[in-house]
Amino acid sequence: MKELLEKLKKIEKETSAEKGNYDLFALFLREESPGKWDILVAAGWINGNNEEALKYLALKFQHSFTQNEFLKISRIVIIEENNPELPAIQQDINIEHGISEIKDATFFGLDIKHAIFITSRSNQAA
Protein backbone atom coordinates (compact mmCIF):
# COMPACT_ATOMS: atom_id res chain seq x y z
CA MET A 1 0.00 0.00 0.00
CA LYS A 2 2.91 2.33 0.72
CA GLU A 3 4.06 2.21 -2.93
CA LEU A 4 0.53 2.93 -4.14
CA LEU A 5 0.31 5.95 -1.81
CA GLU A 6 3.63 7.29 -3.07
CA LYS A 7 2.39 6.94 -6.65
CA LEU A 8 -0.84 8.74 -5.76
CA LYS A 9 1.09 11.57 -4.09
CA LYS A 10 3.20 11.92 -7.23
CA ILE A 11 0.13 11.92 -9.49
CA GLU A 12 -1.59 14.47 -7.25
CA LYS A 13 1.44 16.79 -7.43
CA GLU A 14 1.84 16.37 -11.20
CA THR A 15 -1.81 16.86 -12.03
CA SER A 16 -2.16 19.87 -9.72
CA ALA A 17 0.86 21.43 -11.46
CA GLU A 18 -0.71 20.71 -14.87
CA LYS A 19 -4.35 21.56 -14.14
CA GLY A 20 -4.60 23.47 -10.87
CA ASN A 21 -4.79 22.79 -7.13
CA TYR A 22 -7.05 20.22 -5.56
CA ASP A 23 -9.46 21.03 -2.76
CA LEU A 24 -9.60 17.31 -1.97
CA PHE A 25 -7.59 14.30 -3.11
CA ALA A 26 -8.20 11.29 -0.90
CA LEU A 27 -8.73 7.55 -0.71
CA PHE A 28 -11.71 6.13 1.14
CA LEU A 29 -12.23 2.50 2.09
CA ARG A 30 -15.97 2.24 2.61
CA GLU A 31 -17.24 0.07 5.45
CA GLU A 32 -19.04 -2.33 3.07
CA SER A 33 -16.23 -2.34 0.49
CA PRO A 34 -14.47 -5.65 -0.20
CA GLY A 35 -11.01 -4.09 0.22
CA LYS A 36 -11.31 -1.70 -2.73
CA TRP A 37 -10.60 2.00 -2.35
CA ASP A 38 -12.44 4.97 -3.82
CA ILE A 39 -10.34 7.91 -5.00
CA LEU A 40 -12.14 11.17 -4.20
CA VAL A 41 -11.22 14.42 -5.92
CA ALA A 42 -12.50 17.98 -5.83
CA ALA A 43 -10.93 20.87 -7.74
CA GLY A 44 -11.95 24.03 -9.53
CA TRP A 45 -10.57 22.73 -12.83
CA ILE A 46 -12.92 19.74 -12.66
CA ASN A 47 -16.19 21.67 -12.19
CA GLY A 48 -18.38 21.20 -15.24
CA ASN A 49 -15.82 18.90 -16.90
CA ASN A 50 -16.43 15.68 -14.99
CA GLU A 51 -16.15 13.30 -17.94
CA GLU A 52 -12.96 14.92 -19.20
CA ALA A 53 -11.47 14.93 -15.68
CA LEU A 54 -12.33 11.24 -15.16
CA LYS A 55 -10.65 10.28 -18.44
CA TYR A 56 -7.59 12.40 -17.62
CA LEU A 57 -7.18 10.93 -14.12
CA ALA A 58 -7.92 7.36 -15.19
CA LEU A 59 -5.20 7.60 -17.83
CA LYS A 60 -2.71 8.94 -15.25
CA PHE A 61 -3.54 6.05 -12.91
CA GLN A 62 -3.32 3.45 -15.70
CA HIS A 63 0.15 4.66 -16.68
CA SER A 64 1.42 4.62 -13.08
CA PHE A 65 -0.21 1.64 -11.37
CA THR A 66 0.69 -2.01 -11.62
CA GLN A 67 -2.20 -4.36 -12.34
CA ASN A 68 -2.29 -5.37 -8.65
CA GLU A 69 -2.46 -1.72 -7.56
CA PHE A 70 -5.17 -0.98 -10.11
CA LEU A 71 -7.26 -3.84 -8.71
CA LYS A 72 -7.24 -2.13 -5.30
CA ILE A 73 -9.19 0.83 -6.71
CA SER A 74 -12.97 0.69 -6.95
CA ARG A 75 -13.73 4.03 -8.61
CA ILE A 76 -12.90 7.69 -8.97
CA VAL A 77 -15.48 9.93 -7.28
CA ILE A 78 -15.75 13.62 -8.14
CA ILE A 79 -16.92 15.78 -5.26
CA GLU A 80 -18.39 19.07 -6.39
CA GLU A 81 -16.69 22.10 -4.83
CA ASN A 82 -20.07 23.36 -3.58
CA ASN A 83 -20.74 20.13 -1.63
CA PRO A 84 -21.81 21.36 1.83
CA GLU A 85 -19.71 18.71 3.63
CA LEU A 86 -16.43 19.67 1.96
CA PRO A 87 -15.62 22.75 4.12
CA ALA A 88 -16.08 20.76 7.35
CA ILE A 89 -13.64 18.10 6.15
CA GLN A 90 -11.16 20.76 5.04
CA GLN A 91 -11.41 22.48 8.41
CA ASP A 92 -10.65 19.22 10.26
CA ILE A 93 -7.99 17.97 7.84
CA ASN A 94 -5.72 20.60 6.35
CA ILE A 95 -2.94 19.01 4.30
CA GLU A 96 -1.37 19.46 0.88
CA HIS A 97 0.80 16.88 -0.93
CA GLY A 98 1.14 14.73 2.20
CA ILE A 99 -0.54 11.87 4.04
CA SER A 100 -3.12 12.10 6.83
CA GLU A 101 -5.13 9.06 7.91
CA ILE A 102 -8.41 8.68 9.77
CA LYS A 103 -10.14 5.43 10.69
CA ASP A 104 -13.77 4.67 11.43
CA ALA A 105 -15.44 7.93 10.45
CA THR A 106 -18.40 9.16 8.43
CA PHE A 107 -17.83 11.36 5.38
CA PHE A 108 -20.41 12.41 2.81
CA GLY A 109 -22.98 10.25 4.62
CA LEU A 110 -20.91 7.08 4.18
CA ASP A 111 -19.33 4.93 6.88
CA ILE A 112 -15.62 4.93 6.10
CA LYS A 113 -13.37 2.23 7.54
CA HIS A 114 -10.16 4.03 6.54
CA ALA A 115 -9.56 7.42 4.92
CA ILE A 116 -6.23 8.64 3.57
CA PHE A 117 -5.99 12.32 2.66
CA ILE A 118 -3.24 13.50 0.31
CA THR A 119 -4.68 16.99 -0.07
CA SER A 120 -7.53 18.60 1.82
CA ARG A 121 -7.46 22.38 1.64
CA SER A 122 -9.93 25.16 1.30
CA ASN A 123 -9.85 26.93 -2.04
CA GLN A 124 -10.10 30.19 -0.10
CA ALA A 125 -6.60 29.43 1.22
CA ALA A 126 -5.18 29.50 -2.31
Distance CA 49, CA 78 (A): 10
Segments making up each domain of the chain, as ranges: 2-33+40-98
Q: What is the pLDDT along the chain (126 residues), one digit of tens a residue?
A: 899 999 999 999 999 999 999 999 999 999 988 889 999 999 999 988 999 999 999 999 999 999 999 999 999 999 998 999 999 999 999 999 999 999 999 999 999 999 999 999 986 544
Q: Considering the chain, what percentage of its residues have pLDDT values greater than 70?
A: 97
pLDDT tens profile 51-66: 999 999 999 999 999 9
What is the predicted pLDDT for the residue at 107?
Answer: 93
Nearest-5° angle of CA 90, CA 117, CA 67? Answer: 150
